[in-house]
């Protein structure tokens, strides 16, 4: 039934946009925009945790460039946690799930009199055109990332811009896009900004290590992904852990997971007893970030954990479906990639492929550490 509704929605989309654009109001503008003359802008990033993680360097870049500017951001319930204690944000809002409440909420943001609205989600332009129409005042400039100016929803925005996909990681793409919009010079140093981890989260990670008497370097193995396409099955998890225990006994394995994978975690606990530790998920994302900061190596499907690991400059083994696009590769160079070959799903990846890449990553890590000491 849902697929039928989607087809109907798709078939009606262009006619509805054609009608809607007759009622659209927008301020005309050309690039570059003058950030020095602006007082308050709204960024829209209402998607996932990893998307917000790769945006953090650009928030710092914008605040350092325009220190007077009040930067608001429209978040999702899940990714707002990434902004905890972030000094670059004036106000973070959560987009309501209820569509009626959402319209009322977006209209209420008009009182902020934004000089500029920039959706940082490069898809769903019609959605963010609608949002912008509800929020903007006659003086608001709206900017969208758009490569096909023939689409009818482009008429919702003041400025259409784009930069090439492919050559850059998503972290770099976002900053380069801001540079294009505001006529700024790209600064690669912002790609490597560290997290500001709260002391309370650091204490939670420290206590986990002390209470479990961990005296070995830690391998963090994240078993969870939000989408089935990125998820290994239970048998593969079991085989990976078995081989890690045999081939890397010098490490302590710590499992990360999200609640939907409780059954798999129970299986792992029963199978491996005290040989593997489990870090229970908390409501504070920075508790997990603090533990990753103390790890030696991280193994994870391509999720928020991979981007957090890259930000912390930790060696990473990333497990990816072949549907993953190049700009979502980790932003540092301390990683190995296990890529599904014959299917979009990572379920086709074997444990032996994962362990082979892990061994190469470990060798590279050891070589780099030796060169640093020398």
Positions of CATH 3.40.50.2000 in the chain:
24-192, 199-373
Tell me which residue has tokens 């540092």. Answer: 332
Answer yes or no: are the C-beta atoms of 304 and 48 closer than 8 Å: yes
Residues 273, 346: Cα–Cα separation, whole Å:
27
> What integer pLDDT is reported at residue 148 of this predicted model?
63
Predicted local distance difference test score (pLDDT) of residue 202:
97
For the domain bounded by 24-192, which CATH number is listed? 3.40.50.2000
pLDDT band at 2 (very low <50, low <70, confident <90, very high): very low
Radius of gyration of the chain (CA): 23
Res 372: pLDDT: 58
Whether residue 63 has pLDDT greater than 80 = yes
Residue 201 tokens, joined: 């989260």
Answer left, alpha or beta for residue 113, where phi above 0 means left and psi between -120 and 50 means alpha: left
- 24 versus 14: which is more confidently predicted? 24
Nearest in space to 304 (alpha carbons), one of 333, 281, 322: 281
Q: How many residues does the chain have?
A: 374
- Tokens 């070995």 identify what position? 216
What pLDDT, on a 0 to 100 scale, did the predictor assign at position 23?
Answer: 56
Q: Tell me the average pLDDT of the chain.
A: 90
Q: What pLDDT is recorded for position 296?
A: 97
Q: Is the pLDDT of residue 12 over 60?
A: no
Query: What number is the average pLDDT over the span 349-353?
Result: 96
Dist CA 248 CA 358 (whole Å)? 10
CA-CA-CA-CA torsion sign (109, 158, 46, 169)? negative
> What per-residue confidence (pLDDT) applies to 14?
54
Give how far Cα 356 sits from Cα of 302, 350, 352, Å: 18, 10, 6
Residues of the chain above pLDDT 70, percent: 90
19: left (phi over 0), alpha (psi -120 to 50) or beta: alpha
Question: Is the model's pLDDT at 256 over the cut of 60?
Answer: yes
- Which residue, 233, 231, 223, 226, is CA-closest to 320? 231
- pTM for this model (two decimals): 0.89
* Position 323 confidence tier, pLDDT thresholds 50, 70, 90: confident
Q: Span 310-329, mean pLDDT?
A: 90
Q: What is the mean pLDDT of residues 66-71?
A: 98
Q: Are 307 and 191 in contact (CB under 8 A)?
A: no
Strand pairing class (141-145; 159-161): parallel
pLDDT in the model for residue 368: 74
- Give dist(CA 300, CA 306) in Å, integer: 6
> Residue 164's pLDDT is what?
82
* 158 contacts 25 by C-beta, under 8 angstroms: no
Percent of the chain surpassing pLDDT 90 = 71
Q: How far, in Å, CA of 181 to CA of 41, rounded?
A: 13
Q: How does DSSP classify residue 261?
A: G
Q: Is the peptide bond before 134 cis (omega within 30 degrees of 0)?
A: no
Task: Give the per-residue pLDDT at 374.
Answer: 46
Strands 70-75 and 40-45: parallel
CATH T-level topology, domain 199-373: Rossmann fold (3.40.50)
Question: Mean pLDDT lowest for which of 11-15, 95-99, 241-245?
Answer: 11-15
Nearest in space to 144 (alpha carbons), one of 130, 163, 164, 158: 158
How many angstroms separate the CA atoms of 219 and 229, rounded? Answer: 24
Question: ∠211-217-220 over CA atoms, to 5°?
Answer: 80
Whole-angstrom distance, CA of residue 366 vs CA of residue 278: 26
Tell me the mean pLDDT in the region 87-109: 95
């Amino acid at each position: 039934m849902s697929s039928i509704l989607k087809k109907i929605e798709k078939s009606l989309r262009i006619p509805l946009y054609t009608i809607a654009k007759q009622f659209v109001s927008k301020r005309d503008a050309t690039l570059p925009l003058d950030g020095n003359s602006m007082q308050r802008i709204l960024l829209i990033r209402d998607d996932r945790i990893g998307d917000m993680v790769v945006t953090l360097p650009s928030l710092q870049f914008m605040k350092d460039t325009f220190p007077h500017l009040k930067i608001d951001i429209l978040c999702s319930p899940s990714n707002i946690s990434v902004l905890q204690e972030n000094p670059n944000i004036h106000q973070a809002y959560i987009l309501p799930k209820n569509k009626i409440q959402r319209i009322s909420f977006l209209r209420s943001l008009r009182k902020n009199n934004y000089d500029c609205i920039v959706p940082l989600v490069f898809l769903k332009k019609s959605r963010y055109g609608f949002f912008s129409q509800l929020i903007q005042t006659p003086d608001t400039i709206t900017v969208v990332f758009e490569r096909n100016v023939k689409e009818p929803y482009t008429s919702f925005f003041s400025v259409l811009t784009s930069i090439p996909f492919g050559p850059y990681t998503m972290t770099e793409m976002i900053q380069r896009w801001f540079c294009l919009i505001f006529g700024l010079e790209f600064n690669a140093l912002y790609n490597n900004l560290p997290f500001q981890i709260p002391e309370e989260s650091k204490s939670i990670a420290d206590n986990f290590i002390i209470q479990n008497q961990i005296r070995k370097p830690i391998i963090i193995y994240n078993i969870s992904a939000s989408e089935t396409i990125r998820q290994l099955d239970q048998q593969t998890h079991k085989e990976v852990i078995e081989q890690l225990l045999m081939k890397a006994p010098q490490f302590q394995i710590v499992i990360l997971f999200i609640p939907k994978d409780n059954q798999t975690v129970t299986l792992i606990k029963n199978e491996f007893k005290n040989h593997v530790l489990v870090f229970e998920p908390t409501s504070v994302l920075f508790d997990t970030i603090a533990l990753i900061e103390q790890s030696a190596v991280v193994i994870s499907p391509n999720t928020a954990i991979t981007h957090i690991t890259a930000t912390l400059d930790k060696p990473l083994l990333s497990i990816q479906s072949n549907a993953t696009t190049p700009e979502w590769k980790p932003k540092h160079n301390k990683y190995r990639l296990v890529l599904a070959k014959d299917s979009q799903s990572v379920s086709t990846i074997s444990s032996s492929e994962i362990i082979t890449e892990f061994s190469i990553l470990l060798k590279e890590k050891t070589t780099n550490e030796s060169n640093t000491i020398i």
